[in-house]
Amino acid sequence: MISRLKLMDFRCYGSFSWQIPQQGAIILGNNAQGKTSLLEAVCFLLRLQSPRTARPGPLAAHGKQAFGIRGELTGQARRILWTPDAPDLRVNGEPRKDQRSYLADSYPVVWMGNDDLSLVQAGADARRKYMDFLGSQWHPGYRLALFSYRRALKTRNYLLKHRHRDKLQLDAYTRQLALHGTELKSLRASLLTLLAPHITLAYRSIGGREEQVAVAYRASEEGDLYERLCAAVDRDIRYGQTQNGPHRDDLDITLNGRSAAQFASEGQQRTVAISMKLAQSSLLTEETGHTPIHLIDDVFGELDPTRRVAFLQSLPADAQSLITTTHLDWLHDTPCPLPSFRLEDSTLKPL
């Protein structure tokens, strides 16, 4: 768990410090006050990823080129000084040479946001991000396979777009892409096999019904990936990009055997999405031995009272949960489950 968070020139925060309660907290505030940015800072500190942007540049405060995040956690202190040239990553004062070594002993994280409905309703990209965020925390080889695949894909696409391409070089990167893509595909399939029963259990605990939810991995290509890429090379040249591979994979989500995107109600879809995130939590706890820190961004206002209570009860008792909200009306007569703070003018005050 994280006990203290310090920020420097991060988003709307010039300088910020917060002593975080052991069990977590509810952060109350109006829109555009920086509530989500606090959760985002914790996520970036622990995973070097933001759920809001693919690049770290926008995390710096307006007019700034660099930002800093420091966190004190159980048994370790983490510090990031991010600059355009090279980030300075440290754990317990010792520099880590790269992102991989920085993340090797970090804590797992589960992010739950108001846009999680996109896991069911939107295109495949949202579901691949879901798999990759979880997979990179689940298995040490997953992040490496994903990084290697993306690097080979970028280079191969560059070669496909240029008229005077070197065919031998194109084939070399096709082989690299197939190698890392096959590894990534295998890891994703194994991950979904482990994850599926966790999703089923989470859905039953929240939905309170005997509906059958299922999530299955759907690869864009079957068979030998290198052979499939070679067979499609003329088409890839026409399009100027690689048309098939793990970057086109998806998840099939069904409820009672029918597409959840097409046939489930919005309430059922929200329950599926929340179940998928709770499944991340229980799987990571089971696989890593650490209960993830839960970062929950403004989701309770979208749930009906029954699902809201069930969701709160489904959060692990030993998890540290940081929850943002614009109001506490959704509690109704339920006692506030966590210490509460009001955020205003970049300052947190206990309620």
Q: 215-260 pLDDT, tens per residue?
A: 999 998 889 999 999 999 999 999 999 999 999 999 999 999 999 9
Distance of CA 66 to the CA centre of its chain: 23
Based on the fold, state whether residues 70 and 7 are members of the same structural domain: yes
Using the predicted structure, report yes or no on whether residue 209 has a pLDDT greater than 80: no
| Token pair belonging to 233 | 């090379």
Task: Please tell me the pTM assigned to this model.
Answer: 0.94
Mean per-residue pLDDT of the chain? 93
Contacts with 31 (C-beta within 8 Å, 6 or more apart), sequence order: 326
Based on the fold, state whether residues 88 and 121 are members of the same structural domain: no
34 is in an annotated binding site: yes
Based on the fold, state whether residues 49 and 145 are members of the same structural domain: no
64 is in an annotated binding site: no
35 is in an annotated binding site: yes
- What angle do the packed helices 266-288 and 305-314 form, to 10 degrees? 0
CATH code of the domain in which 326 resides: 3.40.50.300
36 is in an annotated binding site: yes
Based on the fold, state whether residues 174 and 268 are members of the same structural domain: yes
State mean pLDDT over 298-327: 87
pLDDT band per the 50, 70, 90 thresholds, residue 334: confident
Q: How far apart are CA 294 and CA 321, in angstroms?
A: 5
67-121 per-position pLDDT tens digit: 999 999 999 999 999 998 889 999 999 999 999 999 999 999 999 998 999 999 9
Q: What is the pLDDT of residue 210?
A: 79
Structural domain total, the chain: 2
178-187 per-position pLDDT tens digit: 999 999 999 9
**CA nearest neighbour of 253 among 227, 204, 218, 225:** 218
Q: What is the pLDDT of residue 68?
A: 98
Based on the fold, state whether residues 135 and 264 are members of the same structural domain: yes
Based on the fold, state whether residues 262 and 137 are members of the same structural domain: yes
Based on the fold, state whether residues 183 and 313 are members of the same structural domain: no
Relative to beta strand 13-19, strand 2-10 is antiparallel
Based on the fold, state whether residues 260 and 144 are members of the same structural domain: yes
32 is in an annotated binding site: yes
Based on the fold, state whether residues 280 and 208 are members of the same structural domain: yes
268 is in an annotated binding site: no
| Token pair belonging to 180 | 């890392």
DSSP state of 331: G
Domain that holds residue 126: 116-289
Q: What is the pLDDT of residue 117?
A: 94
Based on the fold, state whether residues 278 and 154 are members of the same structural domain: yes
Residue where a domain terminates, one of 255, 289, 323: 289
Contacts with 256 (C-beta within 8 Å, 6 or more apart), sequence order: 211, 212
